[in-house]
Amino acid sequence: MKNISKPDERIPHPAPYSLAKMKLFSRRAALRMGLLGGVGTTSLAYGNLIERHQVAIEKVNCPLKEEHSDLAGLRIAMVADFHFDELQEDSFVSQCVETINAQQADLIVLCGDYVSHDSKPVEPLAEHLRKLEAPLGVYAVLGNHDHWAGADTVTRLLSDAGIQVLRNETETLSYHHNPFQLAGLGSVWVGEAQYKTALPLSSTSSPPVILAVHEPDFFDRVCNDPRLILQLSGHTHGGQVCAPFFGAMRLPSWGKNYISGLYRRQDSHVYVTRGIGTLFPHVRFCCPPEISLITLTAAG
């Protein structure tokens, strides 16, 4: 015969929390939230006040194919993503210009996004960039934000400062009497990049090509061109805010495949700089601003 529990033998419910225990848990929760809030506030302050101004000079060797080894030794300084109208930090940009000149590069290339929304602040920015010096010249391409802010105005103000802006154009340069082509494109994102216009196919042998274009993922379209040595790009900010062991928290269109640093496909390379500016929020975390110095090196 089955045992039937009497009403007073029911399994008791757990005793309710006492008021003292509830207060203890509330204090612990408040402490945890306070600690997390403190860490978040400290991280934001660090990213805004400290890391955002800790410019790293990234020195990178880019190997050449055997047939292009005559260009070994060419040094290219590159910087991108000023976004100057966001904060208009004159002293910071002035220090960056001094640092770029101190690298004594043969060629300086600026890879777009001088402003975010307003083209007028390009004028004071251009006064800083006017001081850039390199034996082979200072060249620039436009980014998506420059097109949205006013591509013609940005082009004019940079040109007035002695910087040659390449908009689907190519300039033939020479390093120790060895010719190469520097091609610059409009923004891919806004549909202004015309690679075949800048570099029409030729039946004769063409000089090797260094390509400047703001958005790095354009490399997937052109990496099979045997003329292309190196593509120079910005756009991603390296992610701007990165999580340890995870990487970039957010990336823009046309900047998801090549995020930061040197990549190789086929016999061509693309280098993506983290840039020196920021978009809102004006924080960098695990992703300091960058001035890039790329040296072409002989194969092997």
Q: Say if residue 40 is in the same domain as residue 140.
A: no
Whole-Å CA distances, 218 to 12, 45, 240, 293: 69, 35, 20, 21
CA distance 277 to 268: 28
Q: Say if residue 102 is in the same domain as residue 40.
A: no
Q: Name residues whose C-beta falls within 8 Å of residue 14's C-beta, 6 or more positions apart in sequence.
A: none
Number of domains in the chain: 2
Q: Say if residue 168 is in the same domain as residue 25.
A: no
Helix axes 122-129, 144-160, angle to 10 degrees: 60
Q: Write down the pLDDT at residue 205.
A: 73
Identity (one letter) of the amino acid at 199?
A: L
Does residue 219 sit within a domain? Answer: yes
Q: Write down the pLDDT at residue 34.
A: 52
Q: Say if residue 191 is in the same domain as residue 254.
A: yes
Q: Write down the pLDDT at residue 175.
A: 98
- Residue 246's domain comprises 56-297
> Alpha helix (H) ranges present in the chain?
19-49, 84-87, 90-102, 122-129, 144-160, 195-198, 219-222
Task: Output DSSP code: residue 222.
Answer: H
**pLDDT tens readout for residues 243-277:** 988 899 999 999 999 999 999 998 999 999 999 99
Q: Say if residue 195 is in the same domain as residue 252.
A: yes
Q: Say if residue 45 is in the same domain as residue 60.
A: no
Does residue 25 sit within a domain? Answer: yes
pLDDT in single tens digits along all 300 residues of the chain: 444 333 333 334 444 444 454 454 455 555 554 544 544 445 555 556 589 999 999 999 999 999 999 999 999 999 999 999 999 999 999 999 999 999 999 999 999 999 999 999 999 999 999 999 999 999 999 999 999 999 999 999 999 999 999 999 999 999 999 999 999 999 999 999 999 999 987 645 789 999 999 999 999 999 999 999 999 999 999 999 999 888 999 999 999 999 999 999 989 999 999 999 999 999 999 999 999 999 999 986
Q: Write down the pLDDT at residue 28.
A: 55
**Is 99 exposed, middle or buried, given 0-12, 13-18 or 19+ CB atoms closer than 10 A?**
middle
Q: Say if residue 95 is in the same domain as residue 44.
A: no
- CATH for 166: 3.60.21.10
Q: Write down the pLDDT at residue 245.
A: 86
**Is 43 exposed, middle or buried, given 0-12, 13-18 or 19+ CB atoms closer than 10 A?**
middle
Q: Write down the pLDDT at residue 98.
A: 98
If you search the block for the tokens 């290219």, which residue do you land on? 76
∠ CA 76-70-271, nearest 5°, is 35
Q: Write down the pLDDT at residue 22.
A: 46
